[in-house]
Amino acid sequence: SQKIEQNSEALNIQEGKTATLTCNYTNYSPAYLQWYRQDPGRGPVFLLLIRENEKEKRKERLKVTFDTTLKQSLFHITASQPADSATYLCVSVSGGYQKVTFGTGTKLQVIP
């Protein structure tokens, strides 16, 4: 069955370092992957989208990659700040909205 996994439930890094979050999918090929940020008790906020024919996307300090051979997406936050602390969700979409799958999320803590 279609499955998407975020390999770390939690990640702690020092302020100023680059945070790298991983999303792996199995048994299907998503048309695109999205990354959302969610703060406690709040709705997810869209950050970046990358399509299957794209290798890399950037937005300010954020970068996402999509490797269809490894079936993996990496999400990077450079020069991380305590304000980046949140849960980050990987979401895959295939076959229109009929197949939307959320990852379980990675809780990022940036330590001052």
Partner 1 sequence: DTEVTQTPKHLVMGMTNKKSLKCEQHMGHRAMYWYKQKAKKPPELMFVYSYEKLSINESVPSRFSPECPNSSLLNLHLHALQPEDSALYLCASSQDTNTDTQYFGPGTRLTVL
Residues near partner 1 (CB under 8 A):
32, 34, 36, 41-46, 49, 89, 93, 96-98, 100, 102-105
CB atoms within 10 A of CB 16: 11
> Alpha-carbon dihedral of residues 94, 97, 99, 103, nearest 10 degrees?
90
For partner 1, which is the closer residue by CB, 58 or 112? Answer: 58
For partner 1, which is the closer residue by CB, 9 or 15? Answer: 9
Q: How far is the CB of 104 from partner 1 (least distance, A)?
A: 6
Q: Is 30 helix (H, G, I), strand (E, B) or coil?
A: coil
